[in-house]
């Protein structure tokens, strides 16, 4: 009786809709794959994809590729976001330099970064360095824009308090600026993480012999459709997991953060977010 | 006399309408910071030009900026750019029309059926952050290596922000406006067309702007990766031929096109708001 009521409590109408939607999509996929409407092998049955997914997960080479992709994304993210926070603080704190350079940052942020891959490959070569550079580049723009936006929403009183204590620049950054702009900065970093992974994957797809992107394109070129689907599912799952973990990691830092104004400012960033 | 009065009356509003834009432009142009920013960009290009010309940096890695910029004005390149723009923007326009046709009814459905809205809003947000362009190998296999795949991939990336914004737009229409419509005994359809849709237009337009940018970026990305289509192909084609100056010229051209489009769309959004 108790378990029945717990089950009813868990199975809310919203969850019921979600489950029904997944079932409908799976049935539609199954029917389409056996309908003969598409060429044979183009759309494998869900069960075949599940089998390919399991066999992929049992391959040690998958974890090597996964490790390489995550390493490239992590290094690119650290380099890109460190540069971005420095540039964002510099431009945020100086009206003159902000007016001089912010338009260029916004212009570059709205562009498809993938077209810079030839330059990145020419400068950094075809190895791991070019993937790190692409990841850093993809991270740089959303984090810079969020840092500038976060700086501009800092309460002037806080800055005045810091100045009245004659804090030097390093202390102003550590004690006033960064704590006051934590939320918009965290939104920017969150976006930066997603961009770093997408940046690495796009560079790996364009040219690489290792990494998840290279694995995906290798299967696709060999017309191994079930494994292509499987790798894609793994990539989506990894991206979602990294995003979720990063959000969890940020929570303790945001617990004591009081200002909510930055959230709205940082949301304007979505315009600058570029998928590739 | 009356004609003179009419003429001056006609002219006056036109002067008033154009002056704020002009004064804003003049104010921006007169800002020393803008000159400084421009001077730094020119100085950096000058330094790169000198480094490359003096062989400190190989021309096989970085093209002379003067060559890359001059390439933009060659008649052959201009013709190709025009054709590429026509093709890419044609694909973007087709994808955008599809997105609007699908997303606005979908947003309205999610607004009218809040339980479905609650069920799907998390999924939509997750899809918004997902690397949708990675799906292109699958659709290349299913649809083929043609323009339909490019349109579909543009559509898949752009439809999500429009659905999210359309739902938000309908949800934030003031209840008072809808009640006024009901007090006039308007049908549901009339309330939608005459009250809900006009009231939600600014927010929907923000979604369309995002959708347009996502669509353009995804289509250019896939054009680059599969060496097909318009603007993206211009870059990849030159890169694979190892035409370094041409690659830089093509990158500059694509950058200029996307920046211009972005500026136009931002201006349009401000006008709608």
Give the residue-averaged pLDDT of B70-82: 87
Burial class (CB in 10 A: 0-12, 13-18, 19+), B177: middle
Q: Measured between alpha carbons, how far is residue B242 from residues A36, A205, B62, B248 in Å?
A: 43, 19, 12, 11
A229-233's contacts with Cβ under 8 Å and 24+ in sequence apart are: A229/A44, A229/A49, A229/A52, A229/A53, A229/B138, A230/A49, A230/A52, A230/A53, A230/A55, A230/A56, A231/A56, A232/B134, A232/B135, A232/B138, A233/A49, A233/A53
Which of A180-184, B47-51, B190-194 has maximum average pLDDT? Answer: B47-51
Same domain, B219 and B253: yes
pLDDT of residue B14: 47
Distance of CA B88 to the CA centre of its chain: 12
Q: How far apart, in whole angstroms, are the C-alpha atoms of residue B96 and residue B209?
A: 10
- Per mean pLDDT, which of A146-150, B90-94, B233-237 is the most reliable? B90-94
Residue A104 burial (CB < 10 Å; 0-12/13-18/19+)?
Answer: middle
| Inter-chain touch B41–A111, beta carbons under 8 Å | no
Number of folded domains that form chain B: 2
CB-based contact B230:A78 (threshold 8 Å):
no
CB B272 within 8 A of CB B202: yes
Whether B171 and B48 share a structural domain: no
Compute the distance between CA of residue A9 and CA of residue B257 in angstroms, rounded to an integer: 54
Whether A14 and B217 lie within 8 Å, measured CB to CB: no
Structural domain includes residue B184: yes
Domain match, B117 and B12 both: no
Same domain, B123 and B184: yes
pLDDT band for B262, please (50, 70, 90 cuts). Answer: confident
For residue B217, the tally of other CB atoms under 10 A from its CB is 27
Contacts of A168 (CB under 8 A, 6+ apart): none
For residues B16 and B115, membership in a common domain is answered with: no
Q: How far apart are CA A51 and CA A55, in angstroms?
A: 6
Residues B37 and B153 occupy one common structural domain: no
The confidence score (pLDDT) of residue A257 equals: 56
Q: Are residues B14 and B87 in the same domain?
A: no
CB under 8 A, 24+ apart: contacts of A125-130: A126/A207, A126/A208, A128/A68, A128/A71, A128/A72, A130/A203, A130/A207
Give the CA distances from residue B268 to residues B184, B202, B254, B259, in Å, rounded to whole numbers and listed in that order: 33, 10, 21, 14
- B62 located within any domain: no
pLDDT of residue A182: 83
| Over residues B56-62, mean pLDDT | 87
| Helices of type H across A153-260 | 156-164, 169-171, 178-180, 182-206, 212-221, 225-254
Residues B48 and B149 in one domain: no
Residues B72 and B39 in one domain: no
CATH code of the domain made up of A47-272: 1.10.3720.10
Instruction: Find chain A residues with C-beta within 8 A of B37's C-beta.
Output: 99-101, 103-104
Strands (E), chain B: none
Please name the member of B34, B220, B251 whose beta carbon is closest to the beta carbon of A119. Answer: B251
pLDDT computed for residue A134 by the predictor: 94
Q: How far is A221 from chain B (nearest CA, A)?
A: 9
A271/B210 Cβ within 8 A = yes
Those of residues 89-108 in A touching chain B at CB distance below 8 A are 95-101, 103-104, 107-108
For A60-108, write each residue's pLDDT tens digit: 999 999 999 999 999 999 999 999 999 999 998 888 999 888 888 888 8
- Taking alpha carbons only, the member of A271, A243, A276, A275 closest to residue A105 is A271
Asked if B165 and B39 sit in the same domain, the reply is: no
List the end-to-end C-alpha distance of chain B, in Å, as a whole number.
40
pLDDT of residue A88: 92
Chain B residue nearest residue A239, CA to CA: B130
Q: Which of A30-39, B78-87, B92-101 has the highest mean pLDDT?
A: B92-101
Alpha-carbon gap, residue A101 to B113, rounded angstroms: 46
| Reported ipTM | 0.77
Looking at residue B28, what is its pLDDT?
Answer: 65
Contact assignment for A240 to B130 by CB distance below 8 Å: yes
Separation CA B113–CA B170 (nearest Å): 12
Q: How many C-beta atoms surround the C-beta of residue B83 within 10 A?
A: 12
Can you list the residues of chain A whose pLDDT is less than 50? 258-272
Helices (H) and strands (E) in chain A, counts: 14, 0
Of A206, A228, A274, Cβ closest to residue B217? A274
What are the tens digits of pLDDT across the range B7-44?
Answer: 444 444 444 445 566 666 666 667 888 889 899 999 99
Q: Kindly report the average pLDDT of chain B as a whole number.
A: 84
How far, CA to CA in Å, does B168 sit from each of A128, A174, B105, B172, B199?
Answer: 42, 38, 13, 6, 12
> Tell me, what's the pLDDT at B2?
42
- A114 CB neighbours in chain B (<8 A) are 220-221, 224-225, 232
Please indicate, yes or no, if residue B59 is contained in any of the structural domains: no
Confidence of residue B122 (pLDDT cuts 50, 70, 90): confident
Indicate whether B43 and B92 sit together in one domain. no
**pLDDT computed for residue B45 by the predictor:** 92
Contact between A118 and B247 under an 8 Å Cβ cutoff? The reply is: yes
- Looking at residue B26, its pLDDT comes to 66
Compute the nearest-CA separation of B192 from chain A (Å).
26
Q: Residue B27 sits in which domain range?
A: 2-53
pLDDT at A51: 93
Mean pLDDT across B45-74:
90
Residues 155-214 of B with CB under 8 A from A: 157, 161, 209-210, 213-214
Map out the domains of chain A as residue ranges. Answer: 47-272
Residue B125: give its domain's CATH number. 1.10.3720.10
Q: Is there a single domain that holds both residue B7 and residue B111? A: no
* B131 shares contact with chain A (CB less than 8 Å): yes
């Amino acid at each position: 009786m108790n378990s029945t009521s717990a089950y009813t409590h868990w199975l809310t109408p919203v969850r019921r809709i979600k489950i029904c939607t997944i079932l409908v999509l799976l049935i539609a996929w199954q029917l389409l794959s056996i309908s003969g409407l598409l060429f044979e092998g183009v759309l494998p049955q869900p069960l075949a994809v599940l089998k390919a997914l399991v066999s992929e997960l049992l391959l040690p080479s998958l974890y090597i590729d996964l490790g390489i992709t995550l390493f490239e994304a992590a290094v690119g993210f650290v380099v890109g976001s460190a540069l971005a926070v420095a540039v964002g603080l510099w431009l945020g704190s100086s009206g003159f330099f902000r007016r001089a350079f912010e338009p260029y940052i916004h212009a570059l942020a709205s562009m498809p970064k993938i077209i810079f891959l030839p330059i990145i490959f020419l400068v950094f070569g075809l190895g791991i360095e070019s993937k790190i550079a692409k990841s850093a580049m993809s991270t740089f723009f959303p984090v810079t824009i969020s840092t500038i936006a976060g700086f501009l929403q800092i309460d002037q009183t806080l800055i005045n308090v810091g100045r009245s204590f004659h804090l030097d620049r390093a202390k102003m950054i550590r004690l006033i600026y960064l704590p006051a702009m934590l939320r918009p900065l965290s939104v920017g970093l969150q976006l930066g993480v997603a961009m770093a992974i997408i940046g690495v994957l796009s560079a790996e797809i364009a040219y690489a012999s290792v990494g998840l992107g290279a694995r995906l394109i290798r299967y696709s070129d060999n017309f191994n459709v079930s494994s292509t689907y499987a790798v894609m599912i793994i990539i989506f799952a990894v991206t979602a997991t990294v995003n979720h973990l990063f959000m969890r990691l940020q929570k303790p830092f945001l617990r004591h953060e009081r200002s909510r104004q930055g959230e709205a400012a940082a949301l304007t960033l979505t315009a600058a977010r570029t998928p590739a | 006399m009356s004609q003179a009065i009419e003429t001056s009356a006609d002219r006056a509003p036109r002067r008033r309408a154009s002056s704020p834009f002009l004064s804003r432009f003049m104010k921006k142009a007169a800002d020393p910071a803008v000159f400084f920013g421009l001077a730094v960009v020119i100085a950096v290009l000058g330094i790169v030009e000198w480094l490359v010309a003096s062989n400190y940096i190989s021309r096989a890695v970085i093209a002379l900026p003067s060559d890359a910029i001059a390439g933009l004005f060659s008649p052959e390149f201009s013709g190709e750019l025009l054709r590429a723009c026509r093709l890419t923007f044609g694909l973007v326009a087709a994808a955008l029309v599809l997105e609007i046709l699908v997303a606005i009814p979908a947003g309205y459905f999610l607004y009218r059926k809040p339980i479905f809205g609650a069920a799907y809003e998390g999924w939509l947000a997750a899809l918004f952050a997902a690397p949708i362009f990675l799906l292109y190998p699958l659709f290349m296999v299913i649809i083929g290596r043609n323009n339909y795949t490019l349109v579909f991939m543009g559509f898949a990336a752009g439809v999500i922000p429009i659905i999210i914004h359309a739902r938000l737009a309908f949800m934030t229409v003031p209840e008072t406006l809808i009640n006024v419509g009901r007090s006039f005994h308007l049908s549901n359809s009339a309330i939608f067309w005459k009250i809900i849709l006009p009231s939600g237009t600014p927010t929907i337009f923000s979604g369309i702007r995002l959708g347009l940018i996502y669509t353009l970026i995804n289509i250019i990305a896939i054009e680059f990766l599969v060496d097909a289509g318009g603007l993206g192909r211009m870059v990849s084609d030159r890169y694979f031929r190892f035409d370094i100056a041409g690659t830089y010229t093509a990158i500059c051209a694509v950058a200029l096109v996307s920046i211009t489009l972005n500026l136009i769309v931002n201006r349009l959004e401000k006008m709608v708001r």
